[in-house]
């Protein structure tokens, strides 16, 4: 059960990743977590990554691929793993295949940009507790105020419309080409490609995934 999740920011990947991890007992592998763990452990790869990051540069695909290879060799990945946020580009996907990292399922969460903008820009957060509201789907009792404390709610910088649209533009330019890449791969190999309508309610998406992957 080796799975890659594809989809724009705000398409619901994080929520469904939790469902898949709990259902199939597989770990979620995020490159950010791996980098932090490698740096903390002081491994050779960690030292390399730290040097690059301390210099304010992006960690190379080579280092990331090595980290992924190390991570998926660990015992908790025996039954599979869930890759979220990697690969982001076609060269990364090619490098994975060249290094023998195979996947069974690629899940694309398809959600139109306007729906994502509404989802994310409608979020309101209570800074003190981290409680999250949504002006349309889960509004506070009093507009702009936390239900429990009455304190002001804020819009996180990441949820501001212009930021969301910028992140979507980056996704379309860099990561969306992977949709075609993995659709083609599915025709040639055992990898299965599934496109899921991410505008459905969370429970409906989880149910669809459970049926697809059982």
Residues known to be catalytic: 13, 88, 123, 156, 167
| Separation between Cα atoms, residue 153 and residue 124, nearest integer Å | 6
Half-sphere exposure of 128 (CA within 13 A, CB side): 9
Query: C-alpha angle 39/7/192, rounded to 5°?
Result: 95
Nearest C-alpha neighbor of 108 from the set 56, 46, 183: 183
Total count of residues recorded for the chain? 214
Residues 6+ apart with CB under 8 A from 14: 84
DSSP 153: P
Q: Coil, strand or helix: which one is 112?
A: coil
């Amino acid at each position: 059960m080796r799975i890659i999740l594809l989809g724009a920011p705000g398409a619901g990947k994080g929520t469904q990743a939790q469902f898949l991890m709990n259902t199939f007992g597989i770990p979620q592998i995020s490159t950010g977590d791996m980098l932090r763990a490698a740096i903390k452990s002081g491994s050779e790869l960690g030292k390399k990554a730290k040097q690059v990051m301390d210099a304010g540069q992006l960690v190379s695909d080579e280092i990331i691929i090595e980290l992924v290879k190390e991570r998926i060799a660990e015992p908790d990945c025996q039954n599979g793993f869930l890759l979220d946020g990697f690969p982001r580009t076609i060269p990364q996907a090619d490098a994975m295949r060249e290094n023998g990292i195979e996947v069974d399922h690629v899940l694309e969460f398809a959600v139109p940009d306007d729906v994502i903008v509404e989802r994310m820009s409608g979020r309101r957060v209570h800074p003190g507790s981290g409680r999250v509201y949504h002006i349309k789907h889960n509004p506070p009792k009093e507009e702009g105020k936390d239900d429990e404390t009455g304190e002001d709610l804020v819009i996180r910088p990441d949820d501001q419309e212009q930021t969301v649209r910028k992140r979507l533009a980056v996704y379309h330019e860099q990561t969306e080409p992977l949709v075609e890449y993995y659709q083609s791969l599915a025709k040639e190999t055992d990898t299965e490609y599934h496109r899921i309508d991410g505008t459905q309610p969370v429970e409906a998406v989880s149910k669809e995934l459970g049926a697809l992957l059982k």
